[in-house]
Structure 1
Amino acid sequence: MTDTRAEAAYSRSLAAFRTPTLDLLHGRFAPFVVAALSILFTADRPSVAIADAHAEVAEILDELRSAGHDDEERRLPSGSGREVCRTWAKVGWLVQQIDDDVEVYRLSAHAVEALEITGRTGAGRTRVSNSRIRTLLEAVENLSDNAEADPIRRLVRLTAERDAIDAEIARAELGDLAPLDDEELLEEAENVLHLARELPADFTRVAESLKAMQRDVVAHLRRDERPTGEVLREYLQRAKDVMQSTPEGRAFSGALRLIGDADRIDALTDQLHVLLRQPFSQRLDAAQRAELDAIGRRVELGVEEVLAAQRRASHVITGQVKTHDPLRDRQVDDLLRDVISGLHAWTRDTSGSHIVDPVRSLPRLDLGHLRQSISDIRPPGTPAPLTDADDVEFVDADTRAWGGPRYAEIEAYLAGLGEEFDLADAFAGVDDDTRRPVDLLGMLEIAHRNGLAEGEGVSIVEALRPDGTTRRFAFGAVTARTHKEEQHD
């Protein structure tokens, strides 16, 4: 008979090893994956543009291959940087999203946890130190205080804590406080780093839970199974539960309260800077010192990640509610199902070597000639002829003065100049009303129509505008004729 406890333990172990976290650490290329992800993503760089990530992973692969690390054991994956990153996104180690109209990669909660495990393991031995035991004891005491319902017991505990603080104050006033040695301070610093490493995974889990809720809400809205208001109320309740009912949510709520107090953040930053100037901190390696200095920034980035996930979820859900059309969605779903069904039917009757010509454009429907009228088969009438220019009545004289050339006056004037004349001299002798710039163009047009000959030199004339201003024009000398010469065979 199978042992029930063994079965339960084995089932839990199987479930754990199916998670992307242990899959990453247990995989064939785990050392490379951990190294590449730790290079790409840092506390100050929580997201990387997809194009940049592909290029950087390709560069890391080239460097390791040229150094001889891709030997017969095949410890490096094959393919380009793009193919490697797409594989990581497919198995759940990277998450794709859009930040400020740029498509980026972010670490998933599983990848953050895997990096935290490897970082904790590779940082050195795990010590059962005074600092960690004290942290545990203080956590148990706080839990016991919060769970204590008897006010007398709580009063006794608080009084004892106050007496201990008063005694420490008295020793400080007498100068009787002995500083901790560097070894104990180093243990406490390592404990702080240990606690700080657990925060990013918690923040990422909260952000991913919000994304999962967003997908569920959009799916419910698209299926149109329940009223929109009911779906939104459920989303709001689930968002509230995430912050209260899970360890990750509670960690986020605490961090949010911390970030909300600007003085608290400033004090944290100052304390970290002071610690890094202490002599014991010199015993920390460069990575630990950088990690200690980045604790405040890491908390801020984690909170910003969750808040960004909340804003993104609200934006997507709001857009879905505004544009939700159940009838159109059903039509699109039906069309996609018909297409997929047709592809399945086609692939059953088609060999793999069959060549298919792509559809590059949709066929055009030939409707022929459409009838334009229903009752009257006669063609439409022609428009009325244009009236002569002499019949046009202008509103006032000023409007006509700014109009086009006065052809009638110009032709009558040129008719009295003889068979040939210089165009510049003719324009200088015309009346002021017909000596506008447009009348010069009209005179050139008439001369060209009747025949003209270009002379030598340059003619300069002065035109008079209706408002009294003048404008000088220069053109090649022109000898014009009044009428065309008759053509002879």
Structure 2
Amino acid sequence: MGHSRAEAAYQRAIGAFKNPTLDLLHGRYAPFVVAALSLVFTADRPTVAVSDAHVEVGEMVDELRAADHDGRERGLPAGSGREICRYWVRVGWLVPQIVDDAEVYRLSAQAVGALEIAGRAGGGRSRVSRSRVRTLLETIEQLAQDAEPDPEERRARLLADRAAIDAELARLDEHGAPEPADDELLLEEAENVLHLARELPADFSRVAESINAMQRDVVADLRRDVRPAGEVLREYLQRGQHVMQATPEGRAFAGALRLIGDPEHIDRLTDQLRNLLAQPFSRLMDAEQRGDLDAIAKRVEQGVQEVLTAQRRASHVITAQVRTHDPARDREVDELLRSVMSGLQNWTRDAKSGDRVEPLRGFPVAGVGHLRQTLSDIRPPAAPAPLSEAEGEAEFEEADTRAWGGPRYTELEAYVAGLGERFDLADAFAGAPDAERRPVDLLGLLEIAHRTGMSEGDEVSVVEALRPDGTSRRFAFGSVTAGIRTESAVPEEGADD
């Protein structure tokens, strides 16, 4: 049993050391990686343009090489700034992204965690302070309260809290202003706040990367999906709309967002931090600690924005992929890519080091014959031949398609002429022959009624139109009464004024 426990612990340790965070810290060039990343990426600069990062990293490594740091312990990586950054992308320390049509780098969650670990290790030992112990006890107390199922126990705790608050209020009313807190104690509290805040950037990055990983999995699954399009649309659009609930990190962030997502909360946090920095105890903190304390609100805001941006991007990508989902086309693209890779492998097997492949510089041009090359005179060379009255009915190869044409105005006008001076359009359409009861004939009848004079009522008329293929369709519209306009009509004699 002991052996199995030891083996299990050893396997867990092996898995932990495969994490890029520990790989960064234990790599040969770890000091340079930590130094370069901490200088290029700051709280005010969470993303850096790819070209700028290449230049800055290249200048750093050149400066250190000139100072003869390359031959010392650990040494410096070989290559240019671009090659170094590309390697960091491959091993998972940098993440390339497209922001505002520009390619940028940002730190991965593992790199953020590694920088925080290195920063804490280089900043001295952590102290077991009253503030840190109190934070632990208060967190356990809150956990116990949230997990307590007995309502009477909860009520007793709330009454005790209220009694403590009332006692504090009574003491303030009796003695006035509270005694000032000891500066050393306030410094411990501030150091505890900084300790807790150091974990936030890595936590936000892990949430964003979990959403991005889920997005890649969804797109990969969609490309392999051969189900009907309707079923695919329903499932994947739902996943795109609820992307925040698709990962454990996203669900945890959604709960935290209710506490920090409101801009008013961020503004209040900023004001509180500035007030703390104005207190006398802040003079006991060094410049780096004061800067970190002042940047907490900004880091929280940037972390929230990073996660929400990843959420919007994932929803957009999933939705766009679903809308353009075509299994047949995807299979064609996959087959084409496989054929290209196969051809490349066959070529590299027999090719020599100096052989070159001529690129395809253009696609074949379709032969469309001779086209007009000048627009000096766009008129045709001669007038078209006049139309002739063809005797007999037109001949159709398969079926008479005239029934699918526009309204039959001649037949409709002849039909309307026999309906009297005024008539209801819906009744007239319902009484028309079946050949004149197509949907387009309803539009033609409305046009004729508008031309001859019509008035609209408040009621809704419903008619049933017949398509040429025998199917029917119902239409609803405001009631229309048609007839000849009589704007200049003279009132009959004897009518009331």
| TM-score normalized with structure 1 length | 0.70
Secondary structure, aligned partner of 2:310: helix
Q: Is the 8 A contact 2:266 2:301 kept in 1?
A: no
What is the CA distance between 1:234 and its match in structure 2?
4.2
1:283-308 Cα offsets, whole Å, 9 max, x none, are 11111101100111111000000111
Aligned equivalent of 2:209:
208
Q: Partners of 2:66 and 2:126 in 1: how far apart?
A: 35
Aligned equivalent of 1:250:
252
Q: Is the 8 A contact 1:276 1:289 kept in 2?
A: yes
Pick aligned residue for 2:262 from 260, 281, 284: 260
Distance 1:111 1:188, change over 3 A: same
Distance 1:232 1:370, change over 3 A: closer
Aligned equivalent of 1:183:
184
Secondary structure, aligned partner of 2:112: helix
What is the CA distance between 1:324 and its match in structure 2?
2.5
What is the CA distance between 1:28 and its match in structure 2?
0.8
Is 1:331 aligned to 2:332, yes or no?
yes
Q: Partners of 2:285 and 2:61 in 1: how far apart?
A: 30
Aligned equivalent of 2:400:
none
Pick aligned residue for 1:229 from 234, 237, 240: 234
1:275-334 Cα offsets, whole Å, 9 max, x none, are 111121111111110110011111100000011111111221222223222222211111
Q: Partners of 2:79 and 2:315 in 1: how far apart?
A: 38
Secondary structure, aligned partner of 2:98: strand
What is the CA distance between 1:148 and its match in structure 2?
0.5
Aligned equivalent of 1:274:
275
Distance 1:163 1:322, change over 3 A: same
1:132-168 Cα offsets, whole Å, 9 max, x none, are 1110111001100011111111111112222222222
1:389-409 Cα offsets, whole Å, 9 max, x none, are xxxxxxxxxxxxxxxxxxxxx
CA RMSD in angstroms comes to 2.7
Q: Partners of 2:271 and 2:365 in 1: how far apart?
A: 75
Q: Which amino acid aligns with 1:65?
A: R
What is the CA distance between 1:237 and its match in structure 2?
5.2
Q: Is the 8 A contact 1:21 1:113 kept in 2?
A: yes
Q: Partners of 1:251 and 1:383 in 2: how far apart?
A: 74
Q: Is the 8 A contact 1:203 1:302 kept in 2?
A: yes
Secondary structure, aligned partner of 2:268: helix
Q: Is the 8 A contact 2:22 2:114 kept in 1?
A: yes
1:352-406 Cα offsets, whole Å, 9 max, x none, are 4362342454696998x9899xxxxxxxxx9679xxxxxxxxxxxxxxxxxxxxx
Q: Partners of 2:370 and 2:167 in 1: how far apart?
A: 106
What is the CA distance between 1:103 and its match in structure 2?
0.5
Aligned equivalent of 2:150:
150
Q: Which amino acid aligns with 1:99?
A: V
Distance 1:314 1:335, change over 3 A: same
Rg bigger for which structure?
1
Q: Is the 8 A contact 1:49 1:104 kept in 2?
A: yes
Q: Partners of 1:93 and 1:166 in 2: how far apart?
A: 52
Query: Within 5 A, what are the aligned runs for 1:24-103?
Result: 24-73=24-73, 75-103=75-103
Aligned equivalent of 1:193:
194
Aligned equivalent of 2:134:
134
Distance 1:253 1:44, change over 3 A: farther
Q: Which moved more, 1:169-178 or 1:16-25?
A: 169-178
Secondary structure, aligned partner of 2:303: helix
Aligned equivalent of 2:289:
288
Q: Partners of 2:211 and 2:111 in 1: how far apart?
A: 18
Aligned equivalent of 1:5:
5
What is the CA distance between 1:241 and its match in structure 2?
4.1
Structure 2 runs not aligned, ≥5 long: 372-379, 384-497
Query: Within 5 A, what are the aligned runs for 1:357-376?
Result: 357-361=357-361
Secondary structure, aligned partner of 1:3: helix
Q: Is the 8 A contact 1:252 1:303 kept in 2?
A: no
Q: Is the 8 A contact 1:93 1:111 kept in 2?
A: yes
State percent identity of aligned pairs.
60
What is the CA distance between 1:17 and its match in structure 2?
0.4
Secondary structure, aligned partner of 2:261: helix
Q: Is the 8 A contact 2:236 2:322 kept in 1?
A: no
Q: Is the 8 A contact 1:48 1:106 kept in 2?
A: yes
Aligned equivalent of 1:106:
106
Distance 1:364 1:225, change over 3 A: closer
Q: Which amino acid aligns with 2:16?
A: A
Q: Which amino acid aligns with 2:35?
A: A
1:231-261 Cα offsets, whole Å, 9 max, x none, are 333455563143xx44x64245324532315
Q: How many residues align?
A: 370
| TM-score normalized with structure 2 length | 0.69
Is 1:20 aligned to 2:20, yes or no?
yes
Query: Within 5 A, what are the aligned runs for 1:297-446?
Result: 297-348=298-349, 350=350, 352-353=352-353, 355-361=355-361
What is the CA distance between 1:224 and its match in structure 2?
2.6
Q: Which amino acid aligns with 1:89?
A: V
Q: Which moved more, 1:222-231 or 1:304-313?
A: 222-231
